[in-house]
Amino acid sequence: MKQTQPRCFLELNSRALADNLRRVREMVPNSKVMAVIKANGYGHGMQLAAEALAAADEYAVTCMEDVERLKKWGMQKPVTLLSARFDAQDLGNFATQGIRPVVYDYEHLEAFAELKADANVNVWLKVDTGMGRLGFHADELFTVYRNLRSNQGVGSISLMTHLANADQPERKKNSEQFDAFQGILSRARELELEFEDISLLNSAGVVSFPEHGRDYVRPGMMLYGVSPTADQPSHQLGLTPVMNLKSTVISVRRMPAGSTIGYGSTYTLDADSRIAYVGCGYGDGYPRHAQNGTPVMVNGLIVPLVGRVSMDIIAVDVGELAICVGDTVELWGENNPVENVAAAAGTIAYELTCGVTSRVTRVIV
């Protein structure tokens, strides 16, 4: 047994990031790829993600702090600012920094009022076609477009929208959003208003509607090797999970029938068994709401979680399997998909990868 191994650690497979990007390009060969690395690269580490995804056409982040980080690391690639607020001073520097802001409300336009004529800032306009989140209503769009177009400091104007149900391609709402977007593009053509780039798809969109790839796709989660749709596991999509949350067995005990396991005594053994205790809990980002039966991989075998998740410990029922103290545990990763753990915890993989806490040692492999 290795005493030096950290009790709970993240193995991050940087090669998988590059492989997953290639896979995205196979799915939408005619689209450029804006790699979404917001939220610390979905919890994988933004620097790792940015470096491993160096072949992307552009990065996308959500705040000025992320832009500062990228610059500090010497990243030269253009960056789209998906949902940040920025002031006139920020805006004046965007062109030289290769930053394309997404303009999604009237407050943003105030920053443009003081823009110098030679600023040459390229922008995205965001239209809400049914997501009900950020963006202008379709009937506001062309007024905003003309406002920006008449601004000498504005360079190209591009258009994006966001799908609310791309992970459920059969839902009617998807075609409604596509129809609404198509209507906007037709109207723009009639009015002779040109958009430089068009973008609609996140990861689920790339998988479900590759025919709508247009100029730019905006994948996030699939680059990290996680399936964006419930009915297609990531390996079926040719994606490799980047994040492997691992730990070790810290104790194994024989427990008689009738024993209850953990806080609240929510699980009772109906037969004698062996319980293995794993050094990982909600203090590491393992979901406290994971149900009995949540898959845990110990020594290469999938075994069920039993009892409540503690801060530093979970329990699994290993029966008579050959499992002992020091064995490696994969809480989620390449062999134990995070999608399955998330489903058993009533959440989505995004929340789990983003939620691994800072005490967990990161190891890049």
Ligand X SMILES: *Cc1c(COP(=O)(O)O)cnc(C)c1O
Residues in contact with ligand X by the rule CB under 6 A? 36, 38, 82, 162, 202-204, 218-221, 228
CB of 85 to ligand X, least distance (A): 15
The continuous run of DSSP H or E covering 47 comes out as helix 46-52
Q: Which residues are within 8 A (CB) of 265 and not within 5 positions of it... i.e. 6 or more apart?
A: none
Q: Whole-angstrom Cα distance, residue 347 to residue 350?
A: 8
**Judged by CB, which is closer to ligand X: 228, or 287?**
228
**Judged by CB, which is closer to ligand X: 9, or 216?**
216
CB of 100 to ligand X, least distance (A): 13
**Judged by CB, which is closer to ligand X: 168, or 259?**
168
CB of 18 to ligand X, least distance (A): 17
Instruction: Name the nearest CA neighbour of 102 among 87, 81, 122.
Output: 81
CB of 126 to ligand X, least distance (A): 8
**Judged by CB, which is closer to ligand X: 216, or 277?**
216
For residue 159, give the 3-state DSSP assignment: strand
The DSSP secondary-structure symbol of 218 reads: -
The DSSP secondary-structure symbol of 174 reads: H
**Judged by CB, which is closer to ligand X: 82, or 245?**
82
CA-angle at 45, arms to 39 and 46, nearest 5° = 65
Known catalytic residues? 38, 263
Q: Which residues are within 8 A (CB) of 57 and not within 5 positions of it... i.e. 6 or more apart?
A: 32, 33, 34, 77, 78, 216
**Judged by CB, which is closer to ligand X: 228, or 295?**
228
- Adjacent-strand bridge partners of 278: 249, 314
CB of 36 to ligand X, least distance (A): 4
CB of 202 to ligand X, least distance (A): 3
Residue of this chain nearest to ligand X (CB atom): 220
What does 182-214 look like in DSSP terms, one character per residue? HHHHHHHHHTT---S-EE---HHHHHH-GGG--
Q: Which residues are within 8 A (CB) of 228 and not within 5 positions of it... i.e. 6 or more apart?
A: 166, 167, 202, 203, 204, 206, 207, 221, 222
